[in-house]
């Protein structure tokens, strides 16, 4: 299944470039998350597409969210 992130597309139209992406599942029946990091100047945005399972087989609820921050906060949040 190819994931299409609406917020990702809108940010790219505004000149943001993708730095990284990833995806994963939260077991045992948790949500599946597709995540991308985009950047423009000193603004970093993390876009997530979250798939939640439903009681119907092969039917999912989806939600998309974006979190943007400046470079200093991004480095603070992503330091190991």
Per the DSSP assignment, residues forming a β-bridge with 67 are: 46
Highest mean pLDDT among 1-5, 6-10, 28-32, 54-58: 6-10
In a domain, 73, yes or no: yes
Burial 20-59 (b: 16+ CB within 10 A, else e): eeeeeeeeeeebbebbbbbbeeeebbbbbbbbeeeeeeee
The DSSP code for 76 is H
71 in any annotated domain = yes
Both structure tokens of 71? 């470079």
CATH number for the domain including 15?
A: 2.20.25
Domain range enclosing 37: 6-77
Instruction: Count up the domains in the chain and report the number.
Output: 1
- In the chain the first and final C-alpha atoms are separated, in Å, by 32
Question: pLDDT of 48-63, one tens digit each?
Answer: 999 888 888 888 899 9
1 lies in a domain? no
């Amino acid at each position: 299944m190819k994931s299409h992130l609406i917020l990702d597309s809108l940010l790219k139209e505004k000149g943001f470039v993708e730095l990284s992406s990833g995806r994963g599942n939260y077991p045992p029946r948790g949500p599946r998350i597709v995540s991308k990091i985009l950047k423009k100047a000193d603004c970093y945005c993390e876009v997530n597409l979250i798939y939640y399972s439903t009681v119907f087989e092969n039917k999912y609820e989806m939600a998309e969210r974006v979190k943007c921050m400046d470079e200093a906060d991004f480095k603070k949040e992503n330091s190991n």
